[in-house]
Structure 1
Amino acid sequence: MRLKPFALIICLLLSPGLSIAAGKTVYGLNEYVNLSGINTEVAAKLDTGAKTASLSARDIERFKRDGETWVRFYLAIDDAHDNPIERPLARVSKIKRRSGDFDPEEQKTYTARPVIELKVCMGQAQRTIEVNLTDRSAFQYPLLIGSEALKRFNALVDPSLKYASGKPACATDATLGE
């Protein structure tokens, strides 16, 4: 008889956590993502240990347009675009270098990367996220989605799953969550 009140207390203590999880979408370790406006679908790695999102880009250059700083780049993926992509520069991020990436002559412990805002569709959710541009062609996934973007998607990541949300299926005029 003493176990019943104890079990009830445990259930009541655990229920707030369950209600928080109920409003989230479960994604796998890897998901297909549509890069809206670029009309490209890529496989992404969801990484809760990374803060920012990174997109594989090459020939990155900054330029001015109407007094604003913009970025021109090409996607650095297997079937890379022939046409450059141009987006306004949102900011410049400082990414911490790994010990093997440190150049003592530069004496910088970070790498400066341009950041753009990009609409992405994952599953049925479309969000605008910040993405830093860097050459990820040595990595298996051209897009890494970090914790800041995962928060925008209200995501729970189950590393035992892959492509849990299926192919991106966002409405073309979806602006939910922006």
Structure 2
Amino acid sequence: MKQKVEPLPAVGWRELVALPELGLTAIPAKIDTGARTSSLHGTILERFERDGEAYVRFAVDYARQHVRQVCEAVHVDWRGITSSNGETQRRMIIKTPIRIGDVEFRAEISLADRSDMKFPMLIGRSALRRHFLVDSGHSWLQTPGREVAVGHKP
């Protein structure tokens, strides 16, 4: 007997995402199946311990709006991440819920300096697995009011 499989929703090559536990909404993100790990532009401010758990306090800068959002998250790991230029960097990894459209799930995210990138966030294939199919020919498929997203750059 075959089990009925529900079709996965599609994302375009760029989407607006939210990180609700960090208080971040409408982050323009590039969907990148060539990257294993997701990445968020963040400046590490402080590492500390709370209730025996390692935490990190970091800042996400929205340059266009002249706003700095300070966030705290559980620090789960350090990993060597190979960037698009082939360089391996040791990056801090956090795990937090991410929401794309109506789908919310926990994902591991590396904190990196993405200030010279067009998108402050990159969503890698590990986060997409079992949640979305990627339609690289479209944008903003999970973004309500898609016209708002065009040209949006923090």
Give the structure-2-normalised TM-score.
0.80
- Once the two structures are overlaid, the 10-residue window that deviates more, 110-119 or 48-57, is 110-119
Q: What is the aligned length?
A: 141
Over the aligned positions, Cα root-mean-square deviation in angstroms equals 2.4
Structure 1 residue ranges without an equivalent (≥5): 1-15, 102-109, 169-178
Distance 2:86 2:136 in 1: 27
SS class of match (1:34): strand
Establish whether residue 64 from structure 1 lines up as the match of residue 42 from structure 2: no
Q: How does 1:128-167 map to 2 (within 5 A)?
A: 128-153=106-131, 155-167=132-144
List structure 1 runs of 4+ shifted beyond 6 angstroms. Answer: none
Distance 2:13 2:66 in 1: 24
How much has 1:152 moved relative to structure 2?
4.6
Partner residue in 1 for 2:151: none
Partner residue in 1 for 2:26: 41
Partner residue in 1 for 2:10: 26
Larger helix share, 1 or 2: 1
Larger strand share, 1 or 2: 2
How much has 1:133 moved relative to structure 2?
0.3
Structure 2 residue ranges without an equivalent (≥5): 146-154
Residue by residue over 1:47-74, the C-alpha shift from the partner in whole angstroms, topping out at 9 and shown as x without a partner, is: 0000000000013432222332111100
Distance 2:105 2:66 in 1: 23
How much has 1:150 moved relative to structure 2?
0.4
Distance 1:152 1:60 in 2: 33
How much identity, in percent, do the aligned residues show? 32
Distance 1:99 1:58 in 2: 20
Q: Judging changes above 3 Å, is the alpha-carbon distance between structure 1 residues 60 and 111 closer, same or farther for their aligned structure 2 residues?
A: farther
Residue by residue over 1:104-139, the C-alpha shift from the partner in whole angstroms, topping out at 9 and shown as x without a partner, is: xxxxxx311111112111111011111110111111
